[in-house]
Chains A and B, each alone.
Chain A
Amino acid sequence: MTYELIVVGGGPAGLAAALAAREKGLTKILIIERDRELGGILNQCIHNGFGLHYFKEELTGPEYAGRFIKMLGGTGIEVMCDTMVLQVTRDKQVHCINPERGYQILEAKSIVLAMGCRERTRGAISIPGTRPAGVLTAGAAQRYVNIEGHMVGKRVVILGSGDIGLIMARRMTLEGAKVLACVEVMPYSGGLQRNIVQCLEDFDIPLYLSHTIIDIRGKNRVEGVTIAKVGPDRKPIKGSEIDFDCDTVLLSVGLIPENELTRNAGIELDPKTNGVAVWENMETSTPGVFASGNVVHVHDLVDYVTGESKLAGVAAAEYVKQGERSRKNAITVKEGKDVGFIVPLYIHREAMDAEIFFRVRRIFDKSVITVKDGDKVLAQLKRAHMAPGEMERVKLSRRLLDAVEGNEITVYAEEVDE
């Protein structure tokens, strides 16, 4: 049997895509999940703050996931947990393996890639020092503490001020550990402002900006770390060292979209994000294969993952029912100065509208976002404040897209005086 849609990954992206495709009339849908249950990383994100945009209420991660899992009931959407996808091919075969059915090759008319992302590890950032136990990624620690019920340490230094690191600073503190410091190499935090307030300031945990760990000590277990201030070149400054006695180092140093399947399928990736290069309807370079969520770019808010994934599901249904969209005369989206990356990279000429996501490279005060077609200004939006930790969104209506004469539009971020 051929599925109309196979969704790879049963986290928030995969769930929303499958449900949206079902709503648009697809009936033979399969979600494949490698964990024992649906919900993805939301299951270990027990803190609140999810769903304010999408459900207009404040939920914890498990509650947010639970809502979508409940919505599956009665839809006929099939779910295969404990199943690892090994390969996705260009002709839309999905090779997967699980303990019950062994190796299977499934056929699909369309595919949504929703594998999410994974954490950068110590190896990825090359921290000097010995190799003792007690150096974990923040997400691994989160899983140990929140799902398996094991404390991972008593005296903790956190490297990186991404949201997971901040959330774990609070979580470890509430569970009785002493978090000695949160150390960030950049001059600003990569996390949301609200998390700086409620996870660090609430518990008097110092945040060392423009600092990094230059040494990890300990034979069997971490015994201490040394941090140092870094210059604008991010190199440590001699004489600025501070020692901490700690037994645990948590790393919150970035997330990387998990795209082995995508790469092996010969689907285009965006080297700037390591994510899947997509069109405005979340279609990849291979027609009929779509991608959404953190496998495309790392989001701050699951609410936005849900929104984007619904687009992918709707587009998959459209592809199955109506066939391929024309790629003639496509509009390419480029980043201007101080814009780090852009999603999507391409817009179908006949698209009804297009939402553009991007991150700025540095902190901006009062500023404007300008979308230009050559020298012509298409749209201008004011912002009181922009930061790399906070994703920006610009919606281009059909009318604006109609006004595009060239084959390329560019998004600029500029500070304004006043």
Chain B
Amino acid sequence: MNDTVESSGKRPGDPAYNFGYLDEQTKRMIRRGLLKAVAIPGYQVPFGSREMPLPCGWGTGGIQVTAAIIGPQDRLKVIDQGADDTTNAVSIRRFFARVTEVETTEETSAATIIQTRHRIPEADLRDDQVIVYQVPVPEPLRQLEPREAECRKIHAWSEYGIMHVGLYEDVARWGEIARTYDYPVMVNTRYLAAPSPIPKFDNPKMTGMAALQLFGAGREKRLYAIPPYTEVTSLDFEDHPFTVQRWGESCGLCGAGDSFLDEVILDDQGERLFVCSDSDHCRKRREEGHRGALAGHEEIRALEQADPA
């Protein structure tokens, strides 16, 4: 979040559009919304979401947040499913390259702004970084209470019993809380919030994070934020404490045993490979000389090549 180009700013980028695509008034409106969001951690701030040239549900909220905070000195990283080379991440990165010409990077540590869908990078983020989440459904209560007017009342009164009952029903039925992603969190002990559909594996990274966490939901027209070093707790029960996913395997390429793994089906005989979902994390580890059990194998060479080198 370096210096932003002020209203003069047609350049750099596509001369047909303002820097960052949005006009300066719209950016100001979004920044005001973000300031409010930071001031009331976890509270969903309604905002005048614009119709973007990318489809709703494909990251328009995150794109608007990034567009509102990005400046020419920023270095942008865009990931989807943890990886920089997934099609929609490529598409969004190309969009910003076109309308801002800022430097883009695939290296987590080199980025000043990281826009993400469905993951938080494995590496710890710093206080000079901002992570922007693309949020499809900002309302954590939506599946329990479809009415928006009701949900706003529930938040205003902090009456979150409905969510606890929902979680308890899981326990009663399956013996555990059967939520694996978009696992509800309390922000700063006040607002229930949706962490966006990140796997619950990533929830513990949210609490006390040094980086500013911004959330944009374009279609639902909401912004929210978690300021640096804010307490974020995943809901649970004393006798059913919150836990994260663990794999019996480690990454087939880099051997990491503590990262979120994607399962890749290699053939129709049930042969599978587990690889890091965070492609930058995996690449870094391989560069450092870590080798997974399947590294160099014939079947997965294409995969290694497909990963950013």
Q: Are A and B interaction partners?
A: no
Show the binding face of B for A, using Cβ within 8 Å: none
Show the binding face of A for B, using Cβ within 8 Å: none
